[in-house]
Amino acid sequence: MPRTFEYRMLIVDDDAVFREIADQLFSSLGYSVRCSEDGFEALAMMKEALPDIIICDLNMPRMSGFELLSIVRRRFPQIPVVALSGDYSPDWPVGVIADAYLQKGGYNSPAALVAKIRDLLEKSPLRANIVKSSNAPVWIPLDGKPYFVLTCVNCLRSFSLPAPVFKGEKKIERNAKCEFCENDIAYVLDAGIIQQVRRAAE
């Protein structure tokens, strides 16, 4: 049977009941759900696999939702996050960096939460690589400039590097260090593809 696409969701909440119900709710809707009970555990899980969306409580022991969401926004700005809390007013709490805020107990139906998640996922870009590749994605500018853009597989941020000169090789395999997280990145440049892009740009 072919594998179907599943959005990966990370639920971060110290309330075991919340995690359990949210897990069952979203799993039944076809999401691939992982749960963690605080920010530290969530970050450890994100090292293994990045989620497509995060639902996060604000008040948690060890590392709060405020801290976690701040880190997530800096390191993984493309991941939409929903902040949830029962301790604040329906207004957006000061200091919360999130794409949406919902007050716990402020909804009678899970429909509001589900609708918000669907809305955010529709607006966010589809993740670049469903199967994790050992090689980083390479982007070649269409304006013929002598550089290319590399996206770090660890922190997912992009930076540019000077384009190498091909001396008859069909492809070049190289390593670079991420400018942001200093992760070692392996990438492959295909001479044929680069030529095609450059010709198209001309």
Q: Which chain residues interact with another protein by CB under 8 A?
A: 14-18, 20-21, 24-25, 28, 86, 90, 102-113, 115-116
Three-state DSSP state, 2: coil
Q: What is the DSSP pairing of strand 147-151 with strand 138-139?
A: antiparallel
Residue with smaller CB distance to another protein, 82 or 194? 82
Q: What's the CA gap between 81 and 96, in Å, rounded? A: 10
Residue with smaller CB distance to another protein, 34 or 116? 116
Taking the complex as a whole, the smallest distance from the CB of residue 119 to another protein amounts, in Å, to 10
Taking the complex as a whole, the smallest distance from the CB of residue 178 to another protein amounts, in Å, to 39
Residue with smaller CB distance to another protein, 15 or 67? 15
C-alpha dihedral (184, 48, 120, 115), degrees to nearest 10: 180
- Tokens 């604000």 correspond to 58
Taking the complex as a whole, the smallest distance from the CB of residue 4 to another protein amounts, in Å, to 12
Give counts: helices (H), strands (E), the chain: 5, 10
Residue with smaller CB distance to another protein, 14 or 190? 14
Q: What's the CA gap between 30 and 26, in Å, rounded? A: 7
Taking the complex as a whole, the smallest distance from the CB of residue 125 to another protein amounts, in Å, to 25
- Stated as kind and residue range, the H or E segment containing 150 is strand 147-151
Residue with smaller CB distance to another protein, 21 or 128? 21
Q: Is 114 exposed, middle or buried (0-12, 13-18, 19+ CB in 10 A)?
A: middle
Taking the complex as a whole, the smallest distance from the CB of residue 126 to another protein amounts, in Å, to 25
